[in-house]
Amino acid sequence: MLSSELERFINEDIGEWDDSSTIVPDVDAVASVITEEDCVIAGLSEACQILRHFGLEAEPLYNEGENVLTGVVVLFIRGNARLILQAERLVLNFLSKMSGISTLTRECMMRVSRTSGNVRVACTRKTTPGFRVFEKKAVFLGGGDTHRFNLSDAVLIKDNHIKILGLADCLRRAKLQTSFTKKIEVEVENLDQMLEAAEIGVDIIMFDNMKPFDIKHGVELLAERGIREKLILEASGGISLENIEDYASTGVDVISMGFLTKNAHWTNLKLDIKKKSKV
């Protein structure tokens, strides 16, 4: 996290004149962040960066991405009580939001692994504006794949591109104009498009909003033609905890889900403070 970004986040939560803090005297305190439900913990490094920016000592007790049970201390804090109270909400927001996403990602991974050990679960660009890098990182910590961070990361030719230019023209132009360092992916809506893309040659084919049955059929078709291995295959569109196993069993390499970032609930966590005892 850039320090300018960090300051922006802190500023958002504190505002111009925090009266609540001015009432708290300079007392030393210790505080613990405690889980209130089982989760895959994420956001600890961000939490520590925030706390240290306030001049507080912060000691994470778990590695990010670890499974943590309810009622466990994940982060221990030491320092000025007023500053702990100022940092509290932002620290909890980072941990809760990110752990929620990591936990849901892990859950999806486990469902998938029952069916197929090698399928990756990826997120999408459906993320909260301004918070993408943290949501993607939470997916990564949960065991998922970050997919593209932005439009510059790889070329993804989507339905709306094809409506404007046609598939063949999109691919011709992409190959001509794009750096050799980038992969080219095409979103297809049916098996004709899939075959057209595979014949012209692409790195990745995404089955967009297609039924598992059709996707499976597509994968077989590519295998028959001997081009399955040259391609990475991705299923996307409307995939959730309910149907993820159906997609995992189609033979694709990757399942991508807006669901991971759009439907993840926040993990419940609390911060307990107490005045430092004098011994």
Tell me the site size for its own copies, rule CB under 8 A.
96
Q: Which residues pair with 255 in a beta bridge?
A: 121, 235
Q: Which tokens in the block code for residue 225?
A: 């033609």
State how far the Cα of 53 lies from the Cα of 21, in Å rounded to an integer. Answer: 17
Q: Which residues are catalytic?
A: 126
37 binds its own copies (CB under 8 A): no
Question: Which of residues 69, 117, 129, 224 is near its own copies by CB under 8 A?
Answer: 129
Question: Which of residues 52, 78, 132, 211 is near its own copies by CB under 8 A?
Answer: 132
Residues 247-276 that bind its own copies (CB under 8 A): 253-254, 258, 262-263, 265-266, 271-275
Q: 147 with 124: CB under 8 angstroms?
A: yes
State how far the Cα of 22 lies from the Cα of 25, in Å rounded to an integer. Answer: 7
Phi and psi at residue 121, in whole multiples of 5°? -110, 125
Q: Which residues pair with 120 in a beta bridge?
A: 254
Amino acid at 57: E
Binding segment (CB under 8 A) for its own copies, from list 55-63, 67-75, 105-113, 141-149: 141-149
Residues 152-191 that bind its own copies (CB under 8 A): 152-158, 160-161, 163-165, 170, 173-174, 177-183, 185
Question: Which of residues 54, 94, 207, 247 is near its own copies by CB under 8 A?
Answer: 94
In the complex, what is the shortest distance from the CB of residue 56 to its own copies, in angstroms, rounded to a whole number?
Answer: 14
Q: 56 with 75: CB under 8 angstroms?
A: no
130 binds its own copies (CB under 8 A): yes
